[in-house]
Amino acid sequence: MRVEIWSDVVCPWCYIGKRRFEAALALFAHRDDVDVIWRSFQLDPDSPPQSSDTMADHLATKLNVSHDEALSAIARVTSIAHAEGLEYRLDEARTGNTFDAHRLLHLAAKLGRQSELAERFMSAYFTEAAPIGDRETLSRLAVEVGLDAHVVQMALEDNMYADEVTIEQQTARQLGATGVPFFVINRAYAISGAQATDVILDVLQEAWDEEQSAI
């Protein structure tokens, strides 16, 4: 059974959704038969590689809300993340373009390290306030999960996997995604947003049952 997860590495709900999906998968009796693939989606494709804006500044502008309202939203998502075992440092995080990060996730998929790199990118951004649009930072994180430094550098410099990132974002919209995280199971079932663990588990089981009935 295939689960495709469209997400962005700077999406706070995506990291929460990742943890909830992992919890559901751990409870799923057929978890060893599930193939998980991370797909590309950019929340802000026009953003610069790095920004000096704080997360509150960025949200206030993007959502057209006051700075205080943005801070309240950050506090709320930080509290929810904490309940999932994640320690967000959104007050220190800086926004940045994630196109290069997504390209490296495609490289990692070819090398069997995609899940590890997705986790490392999210952890670095949300819990370490790493500048996720910075190529030196991306290279360091990729090497930490086992990718070869020279191969990573070549991928970044040669604009490898750019088309794949663009195509996956188009596919997400064709499948009806208006935001992320967006989970698609066997291209037949979809889960939009960071749903509760039991909801995800129920959909996994339903998709599995249908797949088995068709055999």
pLDDT band at 16 (very low <50, low <70, confident <90, very high): very high
Say what the pLDDT of residue 31 is: 97
Mean pLDDT of 12-31: 98
Decide the pairing of beta strands 2-7 and 35-40: parallel
Say what the pLDDT of residue 50 is: 85
pLDDT tens digits, one per residue of 153-202: 999 999 999 999 999 999 999 999 989 999 999 999 999 999 999 999 99
How far apart are alpha carbons 54 and 137 in whole angstroms?
Answer: 19
- Interhelix angle 162-174/99-110, rounded to 10 degrees, is 100
Mean pLDDT of 112-138: 97
pLDDT tens digits, one per residue of 37-93: 999 999 999 999 888 788 888 889 888 999 899 999 999 999 999 999 999 999 898
Say what the pLDDT of residue 62 is: 85
Nearest alpha-carbon partner for 187 in 202, 177, 198, 197: 177
Exposure on the CB side of residue 170, measured as CA atoms within 13 A: 6
Mean pLDDT of 28-43: 97
Say what the pLDDT of residue 55 is: 87
Say what the pLDDT of residue 75 is: 96
Is the confidence at residue 215, as pLDDT, over 80? no
Helix (H, G, I), strand (E, B) or coil at 144: helix
The phi, psi pair for 14, rounded to 5°, reads: -70, -40
- The encoded tokens of residue 111 equal 């090398």
Say what the pLDDT of residue 54 is: 83
How far apart are alpha carbons 9 and 47 in whole angstroms?
Answer: 14
Nearest alpha-carbon partner for 12 in 112, 88, 71: 88
- Pinpoint the alpha helices (H) of the chain: 12-27, 55-63, 67-83, 99-110, 114-128, 135-144, 149-157, 162-174, 197-213
Mean pLDDT of 134-139: 97
pLDDT band at 214 (very low <50, low <70, confident <90, very high): confident
Is the confidence at residue 123, as pLDDT, over 90? yes
Helix (H, G, I), strand (E, B) or coil at 149: helix
Say what the pLDDT of residue 95 is: 82
Q: For residue 8, count CB atoms less than 10 angstroms from its CB and return exposed for 0-12, middle for 13-18, buried for 19 or more.
A: buried
Domains and CATH numbers, the chain: 2-213 (3.40.30.10)
How far apart are alpha carbons 42 and 54 in whole angstroms?
Answer: 19
Quick count: other Cβ atoms within 10 Å of Cβ 160? 16
pLDDT band at 142 (very low <50, low <70, confident <90, very high): very high
